[in-house]
Amino acid sequence: MKRRAGIAAMFDTLLVAHRGEIALRILRSARALGLRTIAVHTHDERDAPHLAEADEAIELRADSALAAYRSIDAIVDACRRSGAGAVHPGYGFLSENAAFVRACDAAGVVFVGPPADTIETLGDKARAKRLAEQAGLPCLPGYAANGASPAALAAEARRIGMPLMIKAAAGGGGRGLRRVDSLADFDALRQAATDEATATFGDGTLLLERCLDGARHVEVQILADRFGACVHLGERDCSTQRRHQKLVEEAPAPGVAQPTRAAMGEAAVRLMREAGYVGAGTVEFLLAPDGDFRFLEVNPRLQVEHRVTEAVTGIDLVEIQLRIARGEPLPFTQEEIHLDGHAIEARLCAEDAFGGFVPQAGRIAALRLASGDGVRIDHALAPGVRVSPHFDSLLAKFVAHGRDREQARTRLVAALARSSILGVATNRGFLLECLRSPHFGSAEIDTGWLARAAAQWRAPSPDATWQAVASVLWLHEWARSHGTLANWSPNGSPRWRLSLAMTGSDDDASQARAEDALRWDALIEARADAFAVTVGSHERLLQPTETGSVRVAGRLQPVHVVFDGPPGRPRSMWLDHAGFAGRVVDAGMLAVRRADTDARTELRAGMHGRILSIAVAAGERVCAGQTLLSIEAMKMEHRVVAPADGRVAALAVRAGTQVSPATLLARIEPEASA
């Protein structure tokens, strides 16, 4: 067992090398310990909410926003300029970068996390698995070898058998990960995993591992000090995933027998002691339906989902991280750690969850977040804040704690349903479908359950009632500059006709896709203290109130609405009502794009991102559904496929090109005209 000497590393100033909600969360724990705090930001983030929580804010010197947070030189330089004695990396960015740890050591700055050699060992999946085997942990059959040829990997795949997983040895977050169900697909999937791993992590080394179908993803939180003491804080279930990325996490894992729980905890502690671990970390397992578990990987850092463990243990993990970094011993033993109740976390993300999880960007127009009643919400949002296309799509973490799982679940559902963020599309509706699903309610979950269940879900849509509410609210706003509604008509029975459209967001893609906007006409007639609103063949009796609600057929329903434009002259309106949020404009404002006349199909980007790879060449014949290229956006890969059989008339981008919504990607000549 390796042990790191218990060297005192006192410091009074902490720099947080991150942004957003995790930066806020770390800054608050640091200030509670009496530390002077330093926040960092890029040139475009000078008004970011996390800066107000720190004692000082310092701008990072780098060529771009994304490069700033990934630049070792920029962060070490910020520590030097601010006088910070320690740096907390948060998660992502430089949190698992051994070179960054060594640079901090050389600069005399304490890195809040494990030593560099430990990160190198555990951050490499192949090396971590070998260490786990040495420590006696149960592992899945597999193969890993640096420099293995494609032929050698194919031979090992045949030996291991189907199904199997191809994994990037150097990374995480679902990148460089492919499932193989048939040997006939192995070579193509291996190449795709290699390309993605190389582009993302700078290392295309792969390992192969047998799939454990029907398994759950369960991870154990550990804490270890500099003196060899190591404890676990129970486990979290992270099985609710989309595209191998976590979406909902909970603690403790439901339905796990106490002997299995104890065995996983003991195995995690044994491995981390063997690794000489220091700080907070996570050991991840696959748990089979029969209670058998197998080692998966180690995350040598704080996890996004650490809040659910804090909720059930009452332990501030960031505070303990900082105390360990200062050379203090763990303040408790394993026997003193107890779990109280149940906690569930949902990740609210800026993404079109029903449309392939395409990331979204834009400015926050307004937000209403419903915390309380056992619910806390971690976020760094405010009206006017721009959701950048260059960072992770996570907007907020909703964490609900209850006496049992069902109370935590219902509290979380209520908080999400009562919250809304206007200005950018989110996955709120998808999260609510997930949490309300009978499979989730009864904890009948594994790593594949979400994909199976979501195939039956449909995106919330603006029905006639939603359109009617939008119409009457638009009319009310317009009336602010035209006198009271009662004085609009001399005959006492005024009527108005509106033509509106919903465009989704105010980002660049909106006008580029104006021809796809949902349009409707509304006839509105004043009747005493209400309005009869007719949309299509549907009539609704509506009564707007001054308290943020509308009476629909006599029933009071909440609305969240914000207008863009001078008072009384709206240019657009964001409305969240009955579970659907959308942006409404005057239909006459939309410029419809002229249809192409040369029978060519233009493929355009629907998001901000970077071209990861191009799979075809100009002039090549393609089939409908064939992958043409892939775009990397907010840590996820999105494939662009041919809409029909034809020929690639032109490619407008190449690998590495940065794109934004409506950027031309390629032109396809349909087969008939080819």
Parts of the chain belonging to CATH 3.30.470.20: 216-454
Mean pLDDT of 381-407: 94
Does 3.40.50.720 match the CATH number of domain 601-670? Answer: no
Q: What angle do CA 372, 378, 383 make, to 5 degrees?
A: 95
Parts of the chain belonging to CATH 2.40.50.100: 601-670
What digits encode the pLDDT tens for the residues 588-599?
655 433 233 344
Q: Which long-range contacts (CB under 8 A, 24 or more apart) does 142-150 make?
A: 142/207, 142/208, 142/209, 142/210, 143/207, 143/208, 144/169, 144/205, 144/206, 144/207, 144/208, 146/205, 148/206, 150/187, 150/190
Q: Rounded to whole angstroms, how far apart are CA atoms 571 and 521? A: 17
Q: Considering the domain delimited by 464-589, tell me its CATH architecture.
A: 2-Layer Sandwich (3.30)
Q: Considering the domain delimited by 141-210, tell me its CATH architecture.
A: 2-Layer Sandwich (3.30)
State the CATH class of domain 216-454. Answer: alpha beta
Residue 1 scores a pLDDT above 50: no
Does 3.30.230.80 match the CATH number of domain 13-112? Answer: no
Asked if residue 431 lies in contact with residue 505, where contact means CB atoms within 8 angstroms, the answer is no
Looking at residue 550, its pLDDT comes to: 95
What digits encode the pLDDT tens for the residues 106-131?
999 999 999 999 999 998 888 999 99
Residue 283 scores a pLDDT above 60: yes
Residue 2 scores a pLDDT above 60: no
Asked if residue 523 lies in contact with residue 534, where contact means CB atoms within 8 angstroms, the answer is yes
Parts of the chain belonging to CATH 3.40.50.20: 13-112
What digits encode the pLDDT tens for the residues 140-152?
988 876 778 888 8
Range with the poorest average pLDDT among 72-76, 150-154, 168-172, 362-366: 168-172
What digits encode the pLDDT tens for the residues 66-104?
789 999 999 999 999 999 999 999 998 999 999 999 999
